[in-house]
Amino acid sequence: MHTLINYDFYKCIRKIANTFLHFYVDSSICLWICVYLFVNHTAFVCGLLRVCVCVCICMNHSLTYIYTAFSKPVGLPGLHEFTAMGLLDNRMIDYFDSDSKVKVPRQPWMKERLSPEYWEKGTQSRLSKQQWFTFNIDILKKRMRQNDTDAHVLQWRHGCEGVRQPDGTLKFTRGMDMYSYDGNDFLSFDDATGVWVAPINEALQTKRKWDEVQVLKDYTLGYLEHECIDWMQKFVTYQQKSLSEAIPPEVFVYTRNTEVEANVALSCMATGFYPKDIILQIKRNKRVLSKEDGLKTTGIRPNGDDTFQIRHTVAILRTDLSTYTCEVTHLASGLHVEKEWDHKLPDFSGGAIGVAVGGVIVLIVVVVAAITIIILYKRGVCV
Same domain, 91 and 169: yes
Same domain, 80 and 144: yes
> Is 51 a domain residue?
yes
Percent of the chain at pLDDT > 90 equals 65
pLDDT recorded at residue 86: 98
Q: What is the mean pLDDT of residues 194-215?
A: 95
Decide which of 197, 225, 244 is a domain's last residue. 244
pLDDT recorded at residue 383: 42
Residue 161 and residue 174: Cα distance in Å, rounded? 5
Same domain, 45 and 179: no
CB 63 within 8 A of CB 87: yes
145 pLDDT higher than 80: yes
> Is 380 a domain residue?
no
Same domain, 117 and 191: yes
Same domain, 86 and 123: yes
CATH number of 137's domain = 3.30.500.10
Same domain, 11 and 74: no
280 pLDDT higher than 80: yes
pLDDT recorded at residue 243: 74
**Residue-range definition of the domain harbouring residue 233:** 60-244
Answering whether pTM is above 0.85, one says no
Q: What is the mean pLDDT of residues 310-335?
A: 95
CATH number of 312's domain = 2.60.40.10
Residue 82 and residue 101: Cα distance in Å, rounded? 10
> Is 176 a domain residue?
yes
Q: What's the number of domains the chain is made of?
A: 3
> Is 371 a domain residue?
no
Same domain, 199 and 261: no
Could you tell me which residues are beta bridge partners of residue 100?
A: none
> Is 382 a domain residue?
no
> Is 377 a domain residue?
no
pLDDT recorded at residue 39: 45
Percent of the chain at pLDDT > 70 equals 75
Decide which of 185, 219, 244 is a domain's last residue. 244
> Is 49 a domain residue?
yes
Same domain, 238 and 323: no
380 pLDDT higher than 70: no
Decide which of 244, 269, 294 is a domain's last residue. 244
11 pLDDT higher than 60: no
Could you tell me which residues are beta bridge partners of residue 252?
A: 269
Residue 207 and residue 165: Cα distance in Å, rounded? 35
Same domain, 234 and 285: no
Per residue in 151-165, pLDDT (tens digit) is 999 999 999 999 999
Number of Cβ within 10 Å of residue 336's Cβ equals: 16
Same domain, 155 and 52: no
> Is 179 a domain residue?
yes
26 pLDDT higher than 70: no
Same domain, 137 and 108: yes
Same domain, 71 and 22: no
